[in-house]
Amino acid sequence: MPNLIHSLDASNIHLIIPKLKNIPIYTIHDCFATSVNNMVLLDFVVKSTFINIYFGDFNFIQNMHTQLIKQITDNVHSDDIFINDSGEISVKIDNDNFIIPNLPEAFISDKNVERFSKGIFKSPFFIG
């Protein structure tokens, strides 16, 4: 998992830099710094870019879930894939059934995503 997390942090940096091309910006891993008069802008851009990666245009959580399901189901016989009444996929591998749960409502509900986003922007702990 560490490589996945590091790649998401790196993605954030790559998306942030073009938005802040006219101000000094310094990064070390997932830490950001700039001049005092640019901190408010940097803070906003870092938070909004993370939100965009996970829930916006990039929707990483949904895409990751979809790709994992595809990789699993592409590697088993179609007769060994079942969908239950709640829409969860069950896969039979070596005579054992494995359920691939749906994403929790908290990750896909527009109301929850909006609440999460507002919380990120208000958080004194998640700063740029």
Domain residue ranges in the chain: 2-122
Element (H, E) at 62: helix 60-73
Q: Which two tokens stand for residue 94?
A: 């070596």
CA distances from 94 to 5, 91, 97 (A): 31, 10, 8
Question: Over the stretch 26-40, which tens digit does the pLDDT of each residue have?
Answer: 988 778 889 999 999
- Does the pLDDT value for residue 56 go beyond 70? yes
pLDDT tier at 21 (50, 70, 90 boundaries)? Answer: confident
Cα-to-chain-centroid distance, residue 64: 8
- Mean pLDDT for the stretch of residues 84-99: 89
Mean pLDDT of the chain: 87
